[in-house]
Amino acid sequence: MEKLWGGRFTKETDSLVKEFNDSLPFDKRLYQVDIKGSMVHAAMLGKQGILTDQEMKEILDGLGAILADLEAGRLTIEDGSYEDIHSFVEAKLIERIGDSGKKLHTGRSRNDQVALDMKLYIRSEIREMDGCLKHFLGTILRVMEENLDTFMPGFTHLQKAQPVTLAHHFGAYFEMFRRDREHLSSLYERMDTCPLGSGALAGTTYPLDRAFTARELGFIHPCRNSMDGVSDRDYLIEFLSALAVCQMHLSRFAEEVILWNSDEYRFVELDDAYSTGSSIMPQKKNPDIAELVRGKTGRVYGDLFALLTMMKGIPLAYDKDMQEDKEAAFDAIDTVLGDIRLFDGCVATMRFRKDVMERSAKRGFTNATDAADYLVGKGVPFRDAHGIIGRMVLDCIEKGKALDDLTLEEFQAFSPLFDSDIYEAIDLQACVEKRLTDGAPSRLSMEKEIQDCRAYLALPDIGRDLTGV
Ligand code: ARG
């Protein structure tokens, strides 16, 4: 296969060198954005009179046909055939339209080409990821709406702390994934400069219209400095950081699903379609999906670190090290997208054992703070009330009782201030419903929160105003 740069060379590339150097096996997924960028570049060259109208038309038609053939499977990208996706597309164009195809690369380098391709690709993946996160948030919101009265223990230190509802618990995850979408959307907005026209590093002598190509490709303006244009991968690092945080959220959630699905908790039952069995132990129904989501977190963190480390020693401007950005970025994207989709399905089909959750909230003294607050209401300083209830809890543990099981006489043995209204004050439902502050688990507070979540999900999606890129 003829190379893009064969002229200066007299010997063939060593076959191992070729294999080591080629990026086609992994950058072939950039074909759509590569062709799109080339089409806009060619249209600009025509507009500027650098190509004749005829040449421009042949190139645009040729590129359009290559894209259509690739989409339809009439043309396939074979590993080893070309160095990278840019060489592949250009070679196919020349094969099909001859000499005018050789003019496409006028005023352009693969350095600004690949910088553009990656930026376009990441923007489209941000939109994809955002759609998946939004769908997942819809699943979480549905669980919230259906479980305003599903009482469960809230934990700190993995010890039962105070009663909450399932709606409230899931509301916390809604906030995490909402923030992930916000990271992505602010990054998308800031990825507004177009590297095309930076050339190899020092711009070009042709009268390019960089503002035109930037606009046509959905950017606000061309990047200011051409050396930065070809060597900036900051947005990629920011993107992988956002993915690492999102993956951390998924992993925390997965960890809870694994715990809740255990025989010790029995808060949830996973759907058969989202669980697997054991080859030896017939009774097993394992939460493999959640475990894999948790397990894949290391990969995504690793991808971020690979990129940070790859960039740290690169002198300006482009160096081949940067080709390594692709596998790290693609792996992180594939992993996180897969995780969100799978885990969304796992959560959507999970059955909640409301009775077990409620029973668990009733045990474990989750109403102890409310019992102390009751005494505070009768004028006891909180510190003293804390001490009294602490002694009662100790006594209950010895007797194997809950606070609610004590008789009024037993209550009064600890403080004469207890009256029959103590039972109402420490009732599970009352404990939750009294928590009326914004963001608290009471039905009233949660209804407000859910309203806000619904309004948030009705907002327009990231990049909705961009077409076809
Ligand atoms: N495959 C290369 C990459 O991914 C494309 C840029 C090649 N540029 C160069 N000067 N060799 O970075």
How do residues 256-286 score in pLDDT, each as one tens digit? 999 999 999 999 999 999 988 777 777 778 9
Q: Whose CA is nearest to atom 3 of ligand 1?
A: 323
The pLDDT value recorded for residue 465 is 55
Mean pLDDT of 27-41: 98
Do residues 123 and 90 share a domain? no
Mean pLDDT of 440-455: 97
Do residues 255 and 304 share a domain? yes
Mean pLDDT of 431-447: 96
- Compute the distance between CA of residue 450 and CA of residue 448 in angstroms, rounded to an integer: 5
Range of the domain at 326: 111-359
Domain final residue, candidates 359, 376, 406: 359
Whether the predicted pLDDT of 393 surpasses 60: yes
Element (H, E) at 135: helix 110-146
Mean pLDDT of 169-186: 97
Do residues 82 and 194 share a domain? no
- Compute the distance between CA of residue 239 and CA of residue 12 in angstroms, rounded to an integer: 39
Do residues 167 and 310 share a domain? yes
Q: Decide: helix, strand or coil at residue 153.
A: strand
Q: Residue 300: pLDDT band by 50, 70, 90 thresholds?
A: very high
Do residues 137 and 34 share a domain? no
The pLDDT value recorded for residue 8 is 82
Q: Is 108 in contact with 196 (CB distance < 8 Å)?
A: yes
* In a domain? residue 377: no
Q: Residue 468: pLDDT band by 50, 70, 90 thresholds?
A: very low
Whether 23 lines ligand 1, by a CB cut-off of 6 Å, is: yes
- Compute the distance between CA of residue 390 and CA of residue 400 in angstroms, rounded to an integer: 15
Do residues 206 and 274 share a domain? yes
Element (H, E) at 155: strand 151-156
**Which CATH number goes with the domain that contains 311?**
1.20.200.10
Q: Decide: helix, strand or coil at residue 152.
A: strand
Mean pLDDT of 25-54: 98
Domain final residue, candidates 332, 359, 386: 359
Mean pLDDT of 417-439: 96
Name the β-bridge partners of 195.
none
* In a domain? residue 240: yes
Q: CA separation (Å) from 303 to 186, 337, 382, 458?
A: 21, 14, 50, 33
Q: Is 127 in contact with 107 (CB distance < 8 Å)?
A: no
Q: Which residues of 83-95 are buried (b: 16+ CB within 10 A; e: fewer)?
A: bbbbbbbbbbbbe
Verify cis geometry, omega within 30 degrees of 0, for the bond prior to 254.
Answer: no
Q: Is position 198 annotated as part of the catalytic site? A: no
Whether 82 lines ligand 1, by a CB cut-off of 6 Å, is: no
- Compute the distance between CA of residue 106 and CA of residue 219 in angstroms, rounded to an integer: 22
Ligand 1 center to residue 15 CA distance, Å?
Answer: 18
**Which CATH number goes with the domain that contains 35?**
1.10.275.10
DSSP annotation string for 349-373: HPEE-HHHHHHHHHTTTTTHHHHHH
Q: Decide: helix, strand or coil at residue 161.
A: strand
Whether the predicted pLDDT of 240 surpasses 70: yes
Angle at 442 between CA 361 and CA 406, to 5 degrees: 40
Comparing CA positions, the residue from 6, 9, 20, 34 lying closest to residue 80 is 20
Do residues 132 and 73 share a domain? no
Comparing CA positions, the residue from 86, 87, 80 lying closest to residue 115 is 86
Whether the predicted pLDDT of 31 surpasses 90: yes
Mean pLDDT of 431-459: 97
Do residues 301 and 336 share a domain? yes
The pLDDT value recorded for residue 466 is 47
Ligand 1 center to residue 85 CA distance, Å?
Answer: 10
Q: CA separation (Å) from 394 to 213, 280, 401, 414, 423?
A: 73, 43, 10, 12, 19
Do residues 332 and 287 share a domain? yes
Q: Residue 464: pLDDT band by 50, 70, 90 thresholds?
A: low
Angle at 180 between CA 177 and CA 183, to 5 degrees: 155
Q: How many helices (H) and strands (E) does the chain have?
A: 20, 6
Ligand 1 center to residue 22 CA distance, Å?
Answer: 9
> CB 409: neighbour CB atoms within 10 A?
8
Ligand 1 center to residue 105 CA distance, Å?
Answer: 14
Farthest-apart Cα atoms in the chain, separation = 101
Mean pLDDT of 216-233: 98
Do residues 33 and 129 share a domain? no
Do residues 100 and 85 share a domain? yes
Q: Kindly report which listed range (56-70, 162-176, 452-466) carries the lowest average pLDDT score.
A: 452-466
* In a domain? residue 428: no
Whether 318 lines ligand 1, by a CB cut-off of 6 Å, is: yes
* In a domain? residue 420: no
* In a domain? residue 202: yes
Domain final residue, candidates 309, 340, 359: 359
Do residues 205 and 315 share a domain? yes
Q: How many domains does the chain have?
A: 2
- Compute the distance between CA of residue 227 and CA of residue 316 in angstroms, rounded to an integer: 7
* In a domain? residue 452: no
- Helical segments of 296-381, H only: 297-311, 325-349, 354-362, 368-377
Shortest-distance atom of ligand 1 to CA 23: 1
Ligand 1: which of 17, 117, 320, 322 to mutate, most ligand atoms within 8 Å of CB? Answer: 320
Q: Kindly report which listed range (85-94, 424-433, 457-466) carries the lowest average pLDDT score.
A: 457-466
Whether 462 lines ligand 1, by a CB cut-off of 6 Å, is: no
Element (H, E) at 154: strand 151-156
- Which residues lie below 8 Å from residue 339, measured CB to CB, with a gap of 6+? 247, 250, 292, 293, 296
Comparing CA positions, the residue from 109, 97, 41, 112 lying closest to residue 66 is 97
Whether the predicted pLDDT of 459 surpasses 70: yes
Annotated catalytic residue within 278, 279, 360, 386:
278
> CB 369: neighbour CB atoms within 10 A?
18
Q: Kindly report which listed range (10-24, 152-166, 183-197) carries the lowest average pLDDT score.
A: 10-24
Whether 201 lines ligand 1, by a CB cut-off of 6 Å, is: no
Q: Is 431 in contact with 362 (CB distance < 8 Å)?
A: no
- Compute the distance between CA of residue 362 and CA of residue 170 in angstroms, rounded to an integer: 20
Q: CA separation (Å) from 74 to 3, 66, 85, 86?
A: 23, 9, 17, 19
> CB 276: neighbour CB atoms within 10 A?
13
Report the relative pairing of strands 193-194 and 221-222 from DSSP bridges.
parallel
* In a domain? residue 419: no
Q: What is the mean pLDDT of the chain?
A: 95
> For a pLDDT cut of 70, what percent of the chain falls above it?
99
Q: Is position 157 annotated as part of the catalytic site? A: yes
Whether the predicted pLDDT of 469 surpasses 60: no
Annotated catalytic residue within 15, 157, 279, 420:
157
* In a domain? residue 454: no
Whether 180 lines ligand 1, by a CB cut-off of 6 Å, is: no
- Compute the distance between CA of residue 64 and CA of residue 38 in angstroms, rounded to an integer: 10
Ligand 1: which of 84, 88, 233 to mutate, most ligand atoms within 8 Å of CB? Answer: 84
Q: Residue 335: pLDDT band by 50, 70, 90 thresholds?
A: very high
